[in-house]
Amino acid sequence: MDRRTFTQSALSTLAATRVPSMLDKLGPIGIQLYTVRDLFRKDPEGTLAALAQAGYAEVEFAGYSGLTAAALKAMLQRSGLGAPSAHVDLDQLRSRWPATLDFAESVGHQHLVLAWLDQADRRTVDDYRRVADQLNRAAATAQPRGISVSYHNHDFEFVAIDGQTPYDVLLSATDPALVKLELDLYWITKGRADPLAYFAKWPGRFPLVHVKDMDSGPSEGMVDVGQGRIDFRRIFAQRTAAGIEHFFVEHDWPKDPMAFARTSHRYLRHLEF
């Protein structure tokens, strides 16, 4: 074997031995508490403890079941869970924003996410522009307090209105220095759009994702993460470009919420990409 052949062979062998170590894994995995909403309503502290025992490091709130910020913070500390994010509605942005920020700051949130638009607020392109303006104003007052504002999608934002895609309108009409996106991977897939195309066009704007999987059959229902058709390896390989910092597992209607939570965490814990 000549020197050139030997060198090429050695480099090929080295590359092959390095492949496993070059694979990446997710860091801390979170869960959206809407998944376990009935359990949380009945036993908030026990539910948080069970999620921590299942391996979760973070939770995202979707309502507080009437608990005070001090009580929630104490429960989180006892369970060892972080709560970087919470969902809010448009009414909170419009008429209860100062109090919403006070509560979020007391609990320890760094992100507040507009989770839903009623149909009356999303009929026209101008409706979406008004929502974008509201997000900009809310984010401008939240940023000095160390809290970012994001928008969470469903599938209706990808249905064209007057030749325009509402999700694109929101992205274009919001200030990228202020307003971020929480990308729901199930709903964008159901809306027939590609997350990677959005990561490429608007890099760094997606600090939060909802990790939800879709049935591989025609029903397109939600299933345990890792049991469906969404290619999480392909998506998470671009997490740096997207700016993803937090991964929240979610299922809107699980038959057994804790079983779903455990199975989904187990899959993501071992996922390499």
Question: Among 53, 54, 24, 49, which residue's Cα sits nearest to residue 39?
Answer: 49
Domain spanning 25-270: which CATH class is it, in words?
A: alpha beta
CA dihedral of 242, 248, 249, 255, whole degrees rounded to 10: -140
Cβ 9 vs Cβ 3: under 8 Å: no
In the chain, how many H helices and how many E strands? 13, 10
Tally the residues of the chain: 273
**Alpha helices (H) along the chain:** 3-22, 37-42, 44-53, 69-79, 90-95, 97-107, 125-142, 166-173, 185-190, 195-201, 232-236, 239-242, 257-270
Reading phi first (left if > 0) and then psi (alpha if -120 to 50, else beta), residue 82 is in beta
Least confident stretch, 14-28, 111-125, 166-180 = 14-28
Read off the pLDDT of residues 26-81 as tens digits, 9 standing for 90 and up.
999 999 999 999 999 999 999 999 999 999 999 999 999 999 999 999 999 999 99
**How far is residue 17's CA from residue 23's CA, in Å, rounded to a whole number?**
12
> How many percent of the chain have pLDDT more than 90?
92
Read off the pLDDT of residues 107-166 as tens digits, 9 standing for 90 and up.
999 999 999 999 999 999 999 999 999 999 999 999 999 999 999 999 999 999 999 999
| Six-digit token string for 94 | 């419009």
Identify the band that residue 23 occupies on the pLDDT scale cut at 50, 70 and 90: confident
Domain boundaries, the chain: 25-270
Helix (H, G, I), strand (E, B) or coil at 1: coil
Cβ 114 vs Cβ 93: under 8 Å: yes
